[in-house]
Amino acid sequence: LLRIAATPHVIAGVLAPFLSRHMQRFPGVEIQLLEGGAASQNTRLDRGEAHLAIMPVGERPVSGHLLYPVHALAVVRSDERLTRKRTLDVAALADQPLLLLRREFGSRSWLDAACASANFRPLVRLESGAPQTLVELAGAGYGVAVVPSTVSIPLKNVVVTPLVYQSQSLGRWSMIAWNPRRHLPIYAQRFVEGLLSFVRLNVPGRSHIKYAPEIVRPLGPRP
């Protein structure tokens, strides 16, 4: 049994396309997915509830490997004026109704910090744990959705633009982590190796972040 903690959009956008090939290679390993925001991942590792967690690189010491950069994206209806630039400064959202993930998600903390630095309080029209709901509402013209680049976004009636503050991308590197004080089974190590190979060729949101400023790759964590 391999227990993996991740956000719902990482489960949908990253793990779902990877799991089928991994389960074919290792049919004897049962995988249990634990859904939740980034704020819960360290706790799950500490308690031994999860062997592995996919989460933003933070300050707490954990073992792991870097996966890919995650950028905050603005999703707006295609006929809105905010769709004219390759990147969008956070200050442009000061007078916009916003559709945001709840505070348990890492990308929400990035946005809140940038808004505070830009000296405005965001006008929140909806907080949700379902990023696809935010995207659909943005397409209906209900507001501007802010979601991480790990979210799968159909482009039928929306435009997706990377968010920046003072020309710096809002975001952080993601990692696959484990508790260094707990034994990591060999089948978990094989999962990590397979996922690393997969994301090198399948960077989440690649088409949406091509104009985003680069997020500096951190030195750690270490395995």
Q: What is the mean pLDDT of the chain?
A: 91
Q: Shortest CA distance to 70 belongs to which of 111, 107, 42?
A: 107
| Confidence at residue 156, expressed as pLDDT on a 0 to 100 scale | 82
Helices (H), 118-213: 131-139, 186-201
* DSSP annotation of 171: E
For 29, 67, 141, 181, the CA distances from 177, given in Å and listed in that order, are: 19, 10, 38, 12
Per-residue pLDDT tens digits for 110-155: 999 999 999 999 999 999 999 999 999 999 999 999 999 999 998 7
Token reading at 133? 């709901």
**Average pLDDT rounded to a whole number, residues 184-199:** 96
Q: How confident is the model at residue 42 (pLDDT cuts 50, 70, 90)?
A: confident
Task: Name which residue leads in pLDDT, 161 or 106.
Answer: 161
